[in-house]
Amino acid sequence: MRKSLSKSTYLMFLFDLMILTSSTFIWSNFFGYTQKAVSLLCLMTVIVGLIVLYLKGNYKIREFNINLKNTYLLFEGVVMSHVLPGLYLLFFASSMTKSINYLAVNILTIFIFLRLYRVFFHLYLFKLKKEKNILILGSDERAKLIADEIQGKKALRMKVVGFIHENKSDEEYVSDSSLPVFNDVTNLEPVINQNDVDIVVIAQATELIVTIPRGVSIYKMPEFYELVTGKYYIDEKTITELYYQYATHRSFGYDFCKRAYDIIAALIILLVTLPITGFTAIRIWLTDKGNPIYTQQRVGIGGKVFRCYKLRTMWANNYVPKQGKINENTASINDDRVIPWCKFVRKARFDEIPQMINILKGDMSIVGPRAEWEDLVNIYTKEIPYYSSRMWVKTGWTGWAQINQGHCVNSDDVTEKLQYDLFYLEHRNILWEIAILVKAIFLALGGRHD
């Protein structure tokens, strides 16, 4: 179970639970539904509502804000939480007009109260809530990196009070930071007490850790980095630890459940989307009389190359990636090679539905690191340290990196994607993978899964 840096998430979750329940109960009774219908409407609205709000990132406290985009996502989530209750009323309610009125007033009420609560919560979070003070043991680049990440996540309400420098070489000294650096420290307790420190992050090994008083939370830098960013911190030591964990904690039960999950999910997606993929394939063929399905060499688990199936959304060409020029190697939505009407097909990821065949064959999984083009993998492996470690597991149709970052090709972004991929590799479990799939579908249907 991953730790949480803030208990505020639970407060928001409980308040959302209260609003969804009370509004649905009051309005369904007001419109005269039977007690059985009231109970079912409450149950469906609350369960679906909380799941949707979670998948839309409403409880990702490190990125909390009340801007226009999040307000829209909140409204979208409230509307989607009423899809199942709406279908129930469509088939079993006696009056369609009453059902529409009930759904409209309940959606509006829930949205208004959830929005108002978030405004007050924003005020509490940024104006009233006490900041947690962080002391970082170390003064090297690792220490500076975690300090920058902490200060960049304003909603976490954390403040770095300074670094502990143990008179090591000047090369390890963070000289360009505006934060205080404590030198010649032999006992951490006075520094911790004077600066009201709540958390100590260990960025460099030091014997000073034994002088930390009880009651102060202690984290290793890679662990804290994960909690703050949702990414894996990569260096030689952490990669070695990750491989040891991967090699010694293999689970037959997990592998069996994941394979069953892949097969079931792939079959459902294929069947549900068959009318869309069939129509798209026919229209592509009618556009230029070319084969609507094409294959591409992709790299999977263990570096094994396989033929990946996709719907062709670009005009036929003999495009070859240019060595060392990664930005020119893949197509964007607005690329001239994309058939104009296929831009939405790409944005909604309908072009990747044929990859369900690869999943059924065992080449890929539903969730995992993205299956990259063989030529790109050759470039990335040379330019990005430890890139091949993402190939310890099957590549996926979607994944933790895709729903957080989208698709990217330049080296800096791919390095960050690798951090997301290894975070997934470390924490993967079936329930989380189901949540990733559902969120990916939500993003794709909203045209936001790049």
What whole-number distance in Å separates Cα of residue 118 and Cα of residue 11? 11
- Both tokens assigned to 197: 């420190």
Same domain for 384 and 263?
A: yes
Question: Crossing angle for the helix pair 83-92 and 35-55, nearest 10 degrees?
Answer: 150
Same domain for 340 and 417?
A: yes
450 domain residue, yes or no = no
Supply the range of the domain harboring residue 115.
Answer: 8-128
Same domain for 291 and 328?
A: yes
Domain end residue (candidates: 95, 128, 161): 128
**Domain total in the chain:** 3
Question: Crossing angle for the helix pair 236-248 and 411-427, nearest 10 degrees?
Answer: 40
Same domain for 187 and 334?
A: no
Same domain for 123 and 143?
A: no
**Helix or strand (DSSP H, E) at 221:** helix 221-229
Same domain for 108 and 207?
A: no
Alpha-carbon distance values, 185 to 162, 190, 203, 213 (Å): 13, 9, 16, 15
What whole-number distance in Å separates Cα of residue 90 and Cα of residue 88? 5
What whole-number distance in Å separates Cα of residue 248 and Cα of residue 103? 52
Q: What is the pLDDT of residue 330?
A: 52
Q: What is the pLDDT of residue 450?
A: 54
Check whether 324 has a pLDDT greater than 60: no
What whole-number distance in Å separates Cα of residue 323 and Cα of residue 102? 60
CA atoms within 13 A on the CB side of 103: 21
What whole-number distance in Å separates Cα of residue 287 and Cα of residue 292? 10
Domain end residue (candidates: 128, 156, 186): 128
Give the residue, 293 or 322, on which the prediction is more confident. 293
Same domain for 313 and 415?
A: yes
Check whether 331 has a pLDDT greater than 60: no
The residues pairing with 305 across neighbouring beta strands, listed in sequence order, are 299
Mean pLDDT of 38-57: 90
What whole-number distance in Å separates Cα of residue 410 and Cα of residue 383? 10
267 domain residue, yes or no = yes
Q: What is the pLDDT of residue 55?
A: 77
Q: What is the pLDDT of residue 319?
A: 47
- Using the CB atoms, write b or e for 415-429: b if 16+ within 10 Å: bbbbbbbbbbbeebe
Mean pLDDT taken over the chain = 86
Same domain for 346 and 203?
A: no
- Local structure of residue 58 (DSSP, 8 states): T
What whole-number distance in Å separates Cα of residue 147 and Cα of residue 181? 12
What whole-number distance in Å separates Cα of residue 260 and Cα of residue 173? 51
**Helix or strand (DSSP H, E) at 147:** helix 141-152
What whole-number distance in Å separates Cα of residue 420 and Cα of residue 424? 6
Same domain for 41 and 170?
A: no
Q: What is the pLDDT of residue 1?
A: 41
